Structure 1
Amino acid sequence: MKIRSLFKNVTIKQANIFTISVIFVFTMIFVGLLVEEMYKDYERALEQSYVTSSDVNSSNEMLAQKHKRLKALLIKTVLVIVTLSFILFAIFLGLHNLFNKLLHRDTQTFLDFFEQAAHKDQVINPKTMFFKDFKIMVGYANEMVAKINAQKSSLQEMNLGLEDRVKNKTAALQLINENLEKEKQFSQDLLNSQKEFLRYTVHETNTPLSVILTSIELYVMNHPKDRQLSKIEAAVKNIFSIYDDLSYLVKKDQVEYPKAVLNFEKYIGSRIDFFTEVAQHSRVTFDYTADAKDLHIYFNETKLQRIVDNTITNAIKYTLANEIVHVKLEQIGAYLEFSVGSKSKIIKNTDKVFEEYYREEDKRDGFGIGLRLVRTICDEEDVKISVSSDDNETVFKYRFKMMGE
């Protein structure tokens, strides 16, 4: 592991230098060992000559000459071996450099190819490679380039197609947006026209309704009230209630509704008196109880009228015939609770009765906007609402903050 980490970042050039150095060292070691072995043979030959010369009583001069010839032979042999070793090393070094240059050329060709492959679509000529392994690698590299070029061409065609589709889609969306703007403007103009119509209708309706109701009151002062006249009066008061709802809806965004101190107990009594004729026409009666007198709230009278009138008229409309509508006003802590209860059909979805245009019975008359208007006002003025309905009674309750609390 240590050797592997040591040579992990070695370049080819560094590896070549290391290889040549190792070969040179081993060559020198080989030459040294060979020379050492020859020198030992030389010493053995000298010892043998001494022995031989002692046996035949050779002269000292002959021994010196023989020793000199052996030494010259040894030097000559050593020089030949060293020279041959250097020649062999030079031949090996030359072949190594040749193959190394060829290897470096092939490697550099691949390096240049991969460096330029991201910017140029080019291939490698296999004939420029010397080694067979690199020629095989060239085939793989050229095949890879061909596949990449094919995919690139396919992606370019796809991008062109996507651009055309995006342009077409954008043009279609722009046309749709233009049509939507026209429809929006048309709807806005239609809504404005509707508001103007309602404003005009509400304004023009007030006078004839007031004339009819005043005429009935004057007529009753001098003549007894008959059944037909009672029906007319009840119908006019119903129309008045609808008129007040429409008038509030038309004006609520343009008109400010200031608050004032109101005697809640007397105000509810006055509205019950106003709708008594309507209740009698629907064959129901009122039972109004207040647990204390002079109970006041700080509220806008127009908004309070919408809450009280819509709740009372709704009770008259849905109470069963010959039943009593119980209207109560009682103090609960710092609040005044106004409740209207009567025996009617069970309300299945008490959470939905305040939704716009919702009616549990399709056969009943009305637009379903009254209680929605009540919910809006209660949310604005922080009036808490609760509705309960069972076989015995359906009750609407509203909690107002009492004056002075």
Structure 2
Amino acid sequence: MQKKRFTSWTIKQANTVTTVVILVFVIIFAYLLIKENYQDYEKTIYKQEHSVADYGDTQKQLKSLLVKNTLAIVTLSFILFAIMLGLYKIFYALIQNDMHRFLNFFKNAAHKEALLSPDEIFFKEFKEMVLYANEMVKTINQQKLSLKEINLILEKKVQKKTLYLEEANAKLLEEKKFSEEILAAQKEFLRYTVHETNTPLSVILTSIELYEMKNKKDRQLSKIEAAAKNIFNIYDDLSYLVKKDQVPYPKVSIELVSYLSMRIEFFRDVAHLAKIDFEYSSDLDKVYIYFNETKLQRIVDNTITNAIKYTLPEETVFLHVKQTGADVMFSVASKSKIIKNPEKIFDAYYRENNNVKGFGLGLQLVKNICEEDNVRIDIASTDKLTTFEYKFKMMGE
């Protein structure tokens, strides 16, 4: 339950009310005296009626005395009222003077540091208050000075930090500009390298095919052809990375069984040089998917070359196509060392076997393409087989 709040009064209002109260008490006091005097008068009249012969003269004298006593009482009452009122006014003026000094002191304390002198105050209780008020003002001024010093220090620190940040920002802008120039130069170099690499690679592979048509295929020439095909695969990866954000890659209908057969034949010589065989099988004669051919080639070629790199010698790489519901599953399985971290195998530059050459960018490119085109990838690795499986949507589904 909340306490009832009393209405605040000003000193002037309190002074008026006090004056009225004193006046009321004086009137009541005078009234009581007059009433008592009149009662005495009536008692005296009553007695005189039975004992005095000259009753009329006595009554006149008593009335005159009553009037004199009444006037005396009224006069004394107003004299008492005037004395009390005067004393009160003096007391009120002294209090008001001290209060005004305190009010002016607190009003100016926010802008000035002047203190209040105890000699200017009349009442002893207020003099004690002056000491506390002056102490409060001194404390506030000290805190203001401390805050001012802290603000100056903070401003200097902020200015220093701002200058440092501006310099750092300028350096970052320069470094950013330099990095952008390096990246632009790198992209231009890759674009030029990719463009210039295509022609000699095509010439090498075409020359090898023409030579094989006229002469028997020997081991040294097979090595050259395998190396050229590996370079061609790297070239295709670089070409895709350079152009993927600038050139559209529209989807077309691709017959997956025959397409995989073609890509397997392309890498068969490379596999033979690594003492590895391919075994390709399909549960379907034909199956179509709606996919971009360049992207599909990056998935297939990188998966096959990865299998060639990591399959143990004298082992077989099993490639298989099957249908599962509305999906087509393409899998590549072979015996290799167990993959310890399948979740990291698609990270850039990650290689579990550092003896195998390469940057580890091929599988990351495969992962990016699969994420873009909603192709699911599953990896299983045991001491018997390591399997990469890709799930494509059948065309028309």
Asked whether the two chains share a fold, i.e. TM above 0.5, the reply is yes
Aligned residue in 2 for 1:184: 176
Question: What does 1:132-171 align with in structure 2 at a 5 Å threshold?
Answer: 132-171=124-163
Distance (whole Å) between structure 2 residues aligned to residue 167 and residue 398 of structure 1: 59
Distance (whole Å) between structure 1 residues aligned to residue 156 and residue 32 of structure 2: 83
Aligned residue in 1 for 2:195: 203
Aligned residue in 1 for 2:10: 11
Aligned residue in 2 for 1:26: 25
Q: CA deviation at 1:233?
A: 2.2
Amino acid at match of 1:305: Q
Tell me the SS of whatever aligns to 2:344.
Answer: coil
Aligned residue in 2 for 1:57: none
Amino acid at match of 1:163: E
Instruction: Give % identity.
Output: 58
Distance (whole Å) between structure 2 residues aligned to residue 109 and residue 280 of structure 1: 110
After the TM superposition, which segments of 4 or more aligned residues of structure 1 sit over 4 Å from their partners?
Answer: 47-52
Distance (whole Å) between structure 2 residues aligned to residue 171 and residue 195 of structure 1: 36
Q: CA deviation at 1:335?
A: 2.1
Aligned residue in 1 for 2:35: 36
Q: CA deviation at 1:308?
A: 0.3
Aligned residue in 2 for 1:291: 283
Q: Which of 303, 306, 315 pairs up with 1:314?
A: 306
Which deviations, in whole Å up to 9, do the C-alpha atoms of 1:89-146 show, x marking residues without a partner? Answer: 1011011112212222222333333334334444333333222222222222222122
Tell me the SS of whatever aligns to 1:400.
Answer: strand
Distance (whole Å) between structure 2 residues aligned to residue 255 and residue 44 of structure 1: 133
The size of the alignment, in residue pairs, is 396
Distance (whole Å) between structure 1 residues aligned to residue 48 and residue 243 of structure 2: 145
Aligned residue in 2 for 1:83: 75
TM-score by length of structure 1 reads 0.91
Q: CA deviation at 1:271?
A: 0.6
Which deviations, in whole Å up to 9, do the C-alpha atoms of 1:290-325 show, x marking residues without a partner? Answer: 111221222221111100000011111111222221
Q: Which of 318, 323, 331 pairs up with 1:326?
A: 318
Tell me the SS of whatever aligns to 1:258.
Answer: coil
Distance (whole Å) between structure 1 residues aligned to residue 357 and residue 290 of structure 2: 34
1:372 aligns with 2:372: no
Question: What does 1:211-222 align with in structure 2 at a 5 Å threshold?
Answer: 211-222=203-214
Q: Which of 123, 148, 164 pairs up with 1:172?
A: 164
Alpha carbons of structure 1 residues 140 and 272: separation in structure 2 relative to 1, 3 Å: same
Distance (whole Å) between structure 2 residues aligned to residue 131 and residue 210 of structure 1: 113
Q: CA deviation at 1:374?
A: 0.7
Which residues of structure 2 form unaligned runs of 5+? none
Distance (whole Å) between structure 1 residues aligned to residue 81 and residue 16 of structure 2: 14
Amino acid at match of 2:134: N
Which deviations, in whole Å up to 9, do the C-alpha atoms of 1:39-78 show, x marking residues without a partner? Answer: 333333344445554xxxxxx33x3333333332232222
Distance (whole Å) between structure 1 residues aligned to residue 27 and residue 159 of structure 2: 79
Tell me the SS of whatever aligns to 1:395.
Answer: strand
Distance (whole Å) between structure 1 residues aligned to residue 81 and residue 319 of structure 2: 124
Tell me the SS of whatever aligns to 2:396.
Answer: coil
Distance (whole Å) between structure 1 residues aligned to residue 161 and residue 171 of structure 2: 15
Q: Which of 268, 273, 281 pairs up with 1:281?
A: 273
Amino acid at match of 2:9: V
Q: CA deviation at 1:196?
A: 2.1
TM-score by length of structure 2 reads 0.92
Amino acid at match of 1:179: K
Distance (whole Å) between structure 2 residues aligned to residue 228 and residue 274 of structure 1: 18
Tell me the SS of whatever aligns to 1:224.
Answer: coil
Distance (whole Å) between structure 2 residues aligned to residue 209 and residue 198 of structure 1: 16
Aligned residue in 2 for 1:56: none
Distance (whole Å) between structure 1 residues aligned to residue 40 and residue 333 of structure 2: 137
